[in-house]
Amino acid sequence: MNIGHPTRRETVANGLRHHVLEWDGGGRTTILCLHGFLDLSWGFAPLAPFLADAGYHVVAPDLRGHGDTQWIGEGGYYHFLDYLHDVADLADALSRDRLVVMGHSMGASIGALFAGVFPERTAALVAMEGMRLAEQIDEDLPRRAAEWIHGVRRARQRGQRVLPDLNSCADRIRQFDPFCSPEVALFLAERGTRPVPGGRAFKHDPVHVTRGPYPFRLEQWTRYWRAIRCPALLLEGERTELEAPPDMAERVACLADARTRVIPRAGHMMIRHEPAAVAAEILAFLRAV
């Protein structure tokens, strides 16, 4: 696996210290890479060298409470609009003349929010399976809020789950991503966990595993999607584990200029499975726009 030689740096965004990886291809177009839920910046390592070799300036932050970025701390939480503020500051701190926002899963959802809120800043959007959020119209919202409070309390009391060694951490990654190769899983386990008494723990804040109080509401999100003015590339994995919503076509139609491509042999974590094919689609898209 070619991961290139990224530079590690830190920057403060929205008051939080963020860890950032940078692959500098020397160009004036920055590709800001936003990882998915419980992932981290190193997840882009199989993909980023292809983009940097093509002349792009590629930066990948660990989002709040992930990887080596600061946890939010007592009294805080991880709402989508909190990430949006973080990314706005990261874009200001890290981007050069032209900004391309690229995200995977949760990161793609955040990237689409950014592109809708800051259309003048976003030259292009690459979203990898970021429009598949499920809507639960009839949900009991007071009950959900109560479960959120109890869940956060339990997560803070319980703390991080401890696994015995690196191989166990790699096995855990492959448990949730069976298409991930042992090599990539071990690579991510080495960078995404830390030693703790009794073994190793993943670096993300345990509060992330709780279910937030605000459900996905399509009527709200479509307002952001309709505000996007830049060209958008929507990448889907041929073998994805995520079921597409029945109204996927209507969601895509909210975008002014959307192109959808399917990555053969890839699941939801397509960057791990077929990085060269993902890079080829992104580079072809960026050359066209």
267 phi, psi to nearest 5 deg: -95, -160
The pairs formed by 162-169 with CB atoms below 8 angstroms and a separation of 24 or more are 162/196, 162/197, 162/198, 162/199, 162/200, 162/201, 163/193, 163/199, 163/200, 163/201, 164/198, 164/199, 164/200, 165/199, 165/200, 166/190, 166/193, 166/200, 168/199, 168/200, 169/193, 169/200, 169/202
Q: Region 205-231: what's the mean pLDDT?
A: 96
Average pLDDT of the residues of the chain? 96
| DSSP H or E segment with residue 174 | helix 166-176
- Stated length of the chain: 289
pLDDT at position 187 over 80: yes
Is residue 3 scored above 80 in pLDDT? no
Is the pLDDT score of 4 beyond 90? no
Helix, strand and coil percent figures for the chain, each rounded to 5: 40, 20, 40
Residue 1 has pLDDT above 90, yes or no: no
Structural fold of domain 7-137+217-288: Rossmann fold (3.40.50)
Residue-wise pLDDT for 120-171, tens only, equals 999 999 999 999 998 888 899 999 999 999 999 999 999 999 999 999 999 9
Q: Are 7 and 49 in contact, with CB atoms under 8 Å apart?
A: no
Which residue has 């805080």 as its token pair?
76
pLDDT band at 8 (very low <50, low <70, confident <90, very high): very high
Confidence of residue 217 (pLDDT cuts 50, 70, 90): very high
pLDDT digits (tens, 9 = 90+) for 51-85: 999 999 999 999 999 999 999 988 899 999 999 99
What pLDDT shows up at residue 157?
94
Using 50, 70 and 90 to split pLDDT, how confident is the model at 2? confident
pTM here?
A: 0.97
Give residue 14's region: left, alpha or beta (phi > 0; psi -120 to 50): left
Strand 232-237 relative to strand 124-128: parallel, antiparallel, unpaired?
A: parallel
Whether the predicted pLDDT of 263 surpasses 90 = yes
Q: In the predicted model, what is the mean pLDDT of residues 10-35?
A: 98
Domain map of the chain by residue range? 7-137+217-288
- Give mean pLDDT, residues 9-30: 97
